[in-house]
Amino acid sequence: MTAGPEAAYRRLLRAYPASWRRRHADAVLGTLLDQADAEGRSAVSVADVRDILGHGLLARLHLLLDVVPGRVRAVAGTAALGSGAGLCLALLLLGEWLPPWAPPSTREAGFGPFLTVGPLLYAAWLLAVAASLLRHPRLARSLLGAATLAAVVLPHVVANAYPYAGVERPSSTALAPLAVLGLLVLAAPPSRPSPAVVAATAIGTVAAVGGPMLPLWLSGGSPFPVRDFFYYAYAHHLAVSAAVLLAAGLLAAVAALVARRPAYAGGALLALLPWAVLLLAVWRRISTQGMSALEPLVVVAGVGAALAVLGGLRALGVRVRL
């Protein structure tokens, strides 16, 4: 066997973290070279490249995730699963369907009976919740992965522009926290979530997100059709929703610390990240509309949430390495 394959394999093994390479690289390299020799190959195969790079990147991802204890990630993932369900329900019921008494939408086109393609994403998330509670973790993670990917990709592939003709997507203000919620769920260790926690966080999120919109929905949406209001106008109302959810999460974390359950406290704090993202997204939107009065509130709340998360993790002995 020539030095060519060995050098190529060593380069490929750099996909793994340094700590893994120190322990396993020589043994794996020997196995790869023996296999190539038995097959009469003088070059690295395509399958080897795929497997080494894929497993190496997964090893790096697991190393990154292990910065936060698995129990903390499990608690945050359960809370995020329920919060995502609540957010999807609020967006679906108040953002996509009009009450019979509401004036017609100004949109010239939609997605069937809906305003946007959002219901496809929301349905995937809600089905994932059902699959997770019914002990079908692979199906649940596949659906959540699709929903999270859609939340990240849609703002880049579907443009919303006046006069609102053609297929549209939900506002990035709504998609940003949903993407972070999905990442928190996917980062959690595979396990069956607590139905009670999922239900409680879902109900709380529906109330917090839907509350500011419900009076408008009931009144018929004057002066804006309710769907236009929900997705595109007065986005600063969602700052109230984010503030309520941040406050609820902080109270839950304090209660867990008082009860001497640090993993629950850390999970509650970690689950605040999506709502900090929502505040930042609202800040970005109201800044473009010239609504500067709320900017200090949004900045302080966002920074406070980030510091709360980092402080809570530090109190648990977690050290974040960048």
Same domain, 54 and 98: no
Is residue 273 domain-resident? yes
Same domain, 102 and 210: yes
Indicate the residue among 43, 63, 83 that finishes a domain.
63
Query: Which comes out higher in pLDDT, residue 58 or 183?
Result: 183
* 114: alpha, beta or left? (left if phi > 0; alpha if psi -120 to 50): beta
Give yes or no: residues 198 and 100 share one domain: yes
Q: What residue type is assigned to position 254 of the chain? A: V
pTM value is 0.70
**Rounded Cα gap, residues 96 and 118, in angstroms:** 8
Both 33 and 78 in one domain: the answer is no
Residues 174 and 107 in one domain: yes
Q: Which residue has the higher pLDDT, 50 or 301?
A: 50
Looking at residues 65-86, what average pLDDT do you find? 84
Q: Which domain holds residue 36?
A: 3-63
Q: Considering the domain boundaries, does residue 11 fall inside one? A: yes
In this predicted structure, what is the pLDDT of residue 226? 47
Mean pLDDT of all residues in 289-299: 51
Domain check: are 46 and 173 in the same one? no
Task: Kindly state the greatest CA–CA separation across the chain.
Answer: 78
User: Is 262 contained in some domain?
Assistant: yes
Closest CA to 118 of 93, 82, 83, 98: 93
The DSSP letter of residue 110 is -
| Residues 241-265: tens digit of each pLDDT | 888 888 888 888 888 888 888 888 8
Instruction: Give the residue among 3, 224, 261 at the shortest CA–CA distance from 11.
Output: 3
Chain CA centroid to CA 294, Å: 25
pLDDT-derived band at 306 (thresholds 50, 70, 90) equals low
Quickly state the pLDDT bin for 156 (edges 50, 70, 90): confident
List Cβ<8 Å contacts ≥24 apart for 107-113: 107/164, 107/168, 107/227, 107/228, 108/163, 108/164, 108/165, 109/164, 109/165, 109/166, 109/167, 109/168, 110/167, 110/168, 111/167, 111/168
Query: Are residues 74 and 57 located together in one domain of the fold?
Result: no
Q: Check residue 295 and give its pLDDT.
A: 52
Mean pLDDT calculated for residue range 96-104: 63
Taking residues 237-242, report their average pLDDT. Answer: 78
pLDDT tens-place string over residues 124-152: 999 999 999 998 988 998 999 999 998 88
Helix, coil or strand: residue 283? helix
Question: Looking at the domain assignment, is residue 56 inside a domain?
Answer: yes
Q: Which of helix, strand or coil describes residue 320?
A: coil
Compute the average pLDDT of residues 262-288.
Answer: 78
pLDDT band at 321; cut points 50, 70, 90:
very low
- Asked whether residue 205 falls in the same domain as residue 74, the answer is yes
Report yes or no on 250 lying in a domain: yes
- Shared domain for 47 and 191, answered yes or no, is no
Domain membership flag for residue 230: yes
Average pLDDT for the chain:
76
Whether 263 is covered by a domain: the verdict is yes
Q: What's the total number of domains in the chain?
A: 2
Backbone torsion region of residue 25, taken as left when φ is above 0, otherwise alpha when ψ lies between -120 and 50, otherwise beta: alpha
